[in-house]
């Protein structure tokens, strides 16, 4: 935390952190007043909310589906297929996505051409970036997220399901009235933690997927900090640190707010 004070100083590597001039909130004001502020915040929040809206419920749906599958071999196969992409590195995953969406030889475009349509260059249209980022992330992480909910489902008392069957409840009714309430405490904690990480959109993956054509929708706080703080012709460490500090402050506020809401609703919370 000692280095966080760089955000409030005009940091000079020659003077060091302690001897650099104190400027207070100058760098924070500069970021908020900058031309890029609203575009970067809009991109970051939109991408994070899209990712949360898709990435949070789908592992629950998958876990419930696997839990009600009758054949053990099928259940294990589905788990293995969905879990395996988690072990693929970000660089390799982005390479796979590039190949799948290639306008000439990509699998998706070959299917589109077989249906009689013209191929689509997904990397030239900035509007496709968010969907490509989110759904490739779902493909990679849905399996590992599903395991948490499967573990929660295994802890539900079997006698509740037996009583439901005796009362004539269908699988869907048992899912709604037994399974979902049973995993709700776990889902509540995961949602709170997810809100705290909302502005951490995944620096490496976005940077690898960025190009001059989609930069207007793909530039987020993390990539902007990297560019102004490290690869700029005139790196500004204080400005970059202030932006990172600002992001952490917003994340803390979101975490506290959602945790308090969960507490008011009587759900599991962090404290």
Give the model confidence (pLDDT) of 4-14 as tens digits. Answer: 788 888 877 77
Please state, rounded to an integer, the average pLDDT across all residues of the chain: 86
Instruction: Give the N- to C-terminal CA distance of the chain in Å, as an integer.
Output: 23
**Burial grade of 81 (CB within 10 A; 0-12, 13-18, 19 or more):** exposed
Give me the residue label for tokens 């990480």: 197
Cα pseudo-dihedral 239, 243, 245, 247, rounded to 10: 180
Closest CA to 242 of 18, 10, 40: 10
Cα dihedral 92, 94, 97, 99 sign: negative
The pLDDT of residue 70: 84
Domains of the chain by start residue, with CATH = 2-264 (1.10.3720.10)
Is residue 157 pLDDT above 70, yes or no? yes
Token pair for 250: 């917003």
Q: Per residue in 19-53, is it b (16+ CB within 10 Å) or e — as a string?
A: ebeebeebbbebbeeeeeeebbbebbbebbeebbe
Closest CA to 257 of 204, 192, 194, 211: 192
The pLDDT of residue 252: 84
Gap between the Cα atoms of 210 and 5, Å rounded: 31
From residue 4, give the alpha-carbon distance in Å to each of 21, 31, 207, 232. 14, 16, 24, 21
Instruction: State pLDDT tens for residues 38-86.
Output: 999 999 989 988 988 898 899 999 999 998 888 888 888 988 899 889 9
Instruction: State pLDDT tens for residues 111-149.
Output: 988 888 888 888 888 889 999 999 999 999 998 889 889
């Amino acid at each position: 935390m000692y280095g966080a004070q760089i955000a409030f100083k005009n940091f000079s590597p020659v003077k060091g952190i302690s001897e650099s001039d104190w400027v207070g909130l100058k760098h924070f004001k500069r970021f908020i007043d900058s031309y890029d502020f609203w575009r970067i915040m809009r991109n970051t929040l939109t991408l994070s909310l899209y990712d949360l809206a898709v990435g949070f419920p789908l592992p629950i749906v998958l876990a419930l589906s696997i839990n009600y599958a009758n054949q053990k071999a099928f259940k294990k196969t589905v788990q293995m297929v969905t879990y395996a992409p988690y072990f693929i590195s970000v660089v390799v995953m982005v390479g796979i996505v590039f190949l799948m969406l290639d306008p000439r030889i990509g699998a998706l475009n070959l299917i589109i051409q077989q249906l009689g349509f013209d191929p689509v260059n997904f990397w030239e249209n900035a509007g496709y970036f968010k969907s490509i980022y989110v759904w490739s992330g779902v493909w990679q992480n849905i399996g590992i997220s599903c395991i948490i909910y499967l573990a929660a489902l295994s802890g539900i008392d079997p006698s509740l399901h037996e009583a439901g069957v005796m009362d004539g409840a269908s699988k869907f009714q048992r899912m709604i009235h037994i399974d979902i309430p049973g995993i709700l405490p776990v889902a509540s904690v995961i949602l709170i933690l997810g809100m705290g990480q909302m502005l951490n959109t995944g620096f490496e993956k976005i940077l690898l997927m960025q190009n001059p054509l989609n930069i207007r929708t793909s530039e987020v706080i993390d990539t902007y900090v990297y560019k102004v703080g490290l690869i700029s012709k005139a790196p500004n460490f204080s400005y970059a640190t202030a932006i990172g500090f600002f992001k952490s402050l917003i994340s803390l506020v979101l975490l506290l707010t959602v945790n308090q809401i969960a507490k008011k609703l009587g759900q599991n919370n962090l404290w």
